[in-house]
């Protein structure tokens, strides 16, 4: 029996490919009303979060969710336990095999890979496509993007003769998890399985572990199809995880500065006070998302502030 999480993921993928609810229902063996009910609930949830962070298609920042898959370095070794290799032992350097990306809250999913490339190791065209998205983004979001994906892409950008994209800021779901939660595991597979309701990280069981990359490098079409599902599910589950984590992350950027209009305080309710070493501020909680913020007005009178003593450090 198809799991609830799996058919949700498949429905979203088919929707992204332009299929109607009737066609999706037929493919998944579900009733059309079931499919429509799921889409209604899913996109209403995204609309709620977009009110908080700004809809990228209308106003507010452009927030890109993305994930890359890279090839392994192929080298000559003399031992299974060898700790390092020399440059002259490398036979094939790594390159970007595929990427998946989407704008937060939007339906369209961008996926490109090297399965039909004349020279699979020549990833310049693929990198140019992702560069265009980076160049438009105000924020990029992903799992472990700060330590891995961003730096890997920077390396491929410069090696392919591309300039640095326009400046963007990074939001890493792994960093948010490390700062706030002591889960059994902070891997995307564990967190998405236990927290996400729509999509979770694909296990590519047909090509387990390293075999998926080996078969893709051989040109196995079924393996490439599995890689695409794997890449897409990583992005969809990361998006859902980020939305869930956003109210827990006290370091979230203030997306309201990207919107020209005055902040609508009807979305916020007074929730006590926040204190710093030298200030008292009204604390607010978003009625929908639960995110917390404080005002910028120090409520302590001037005489009180002047009488406060500072620590000597």
CA–CA separation, 55 vs 105, rounded Å?
7
Which residues, in sequence order, are bridge partners of residue 141? Answer: 65, 171
Whether the Cβ atoms of residue 53 and residue 61 lie closer than 8 Å to each other: yes
CA–CA separation, 109 vs 136, rounded Å?
16
Whether the Cβ atoms of residue 281 and residue 298 lie closer than 8 Å to each other: yes
End-to-end distance of the chain based on CA atoms, in angstroms? 62
CA–CA separation, 72 vs 93, rounded Å?
7
CA–CA separation, 17 vs 12, rounded Å?
9
Rg (CA), the chain: 23
Top-level CATH class of 57-76+88-245?
A: alpha beta
For the ranges 43-47, 195-199, 302-306, which has the lowest average pLDDT?
43-47
Which of 155, 161, 143 lies closest to 94, judged by CA?
155
Q: What pLDDT is attached to residue 64?
A: 98
Q: What pLDDT is attached to residue 299?
A: 96
Tokens of 8: 């949700």
This prediction has a pTM of 0.78
The string of pLDDT tens digits covering residues 233-283 is 999 999 999 999 999 999 999 888 998 888 878 889 999 999 999 999 999
Where do the structural domains in the chain lie, given as residue ranges? 57-76+88-245, 263-307
Cβ neighbours for 4, distance < 8 A, ≥ 6 positions apart: none
């Amino acid at each position: 029996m198809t799991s609830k999480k799996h058919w949700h993921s498949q429905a979203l993928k088919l929707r992204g490919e332009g299929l109607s609810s009737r066609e999706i229902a037929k493919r998944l063996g579900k009733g059309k009303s079931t499919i429509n009910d799921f889409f209604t609930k899913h996109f209403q949830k995204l609309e709620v979060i977009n009110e908080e962070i700004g809809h990228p298609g209308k106003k507010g920042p452009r927030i890109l969710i993305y994930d890359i898959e890279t090839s392994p370095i192929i080298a000559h070794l003399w031992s299974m336990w060898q700790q390092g290799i020399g440059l002259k032992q490398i036979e094939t350097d790594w390159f970007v095999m595929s990427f998946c990306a989407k704008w937060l809250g939007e339906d369209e999913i961008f996926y490109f890979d090297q399965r039909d490339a004349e020279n699979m190791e020549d990833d310049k065209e693929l990198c140019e496509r992702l560069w265009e998205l980076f160049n438009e983004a105000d924020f990029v979001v992903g799992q472990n993007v700060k330590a891995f994906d961003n730096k890997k892409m920077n390396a491929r950008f410069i090696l392919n003769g591309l300039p640095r994209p326009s400046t963007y800021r990074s939001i890493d779901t792994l960093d948010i998890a490390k700062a706030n939660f002591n889960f059994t595991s902070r891997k995307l597979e564990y967190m998405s399985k236990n927290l996400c309701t729509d999509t979770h990280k694909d296990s590519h069981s047909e090509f387990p572990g390293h075999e998926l990359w080996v078969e893709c490098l051989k040109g196995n079409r079924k393996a490439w199809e599995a890689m695409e599902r794997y890449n897409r599910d990583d992005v969809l589950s990361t998006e859902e995880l980020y939305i869930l984590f956003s109210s827990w992350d006290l370091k979230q950027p203030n997306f309201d500065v990207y919107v020209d209009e005055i902040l609508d305080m009807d979305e916020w309710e007074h929730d006590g006070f926040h204190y710093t070493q030298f200030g008292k501020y009204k604390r607010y909680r978003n009625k929908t998302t639960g995110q917390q913020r404080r005002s910028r007005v120090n409520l302590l009178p001037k005489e009180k502030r002047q009488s406060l003593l500072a620590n000597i450090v």
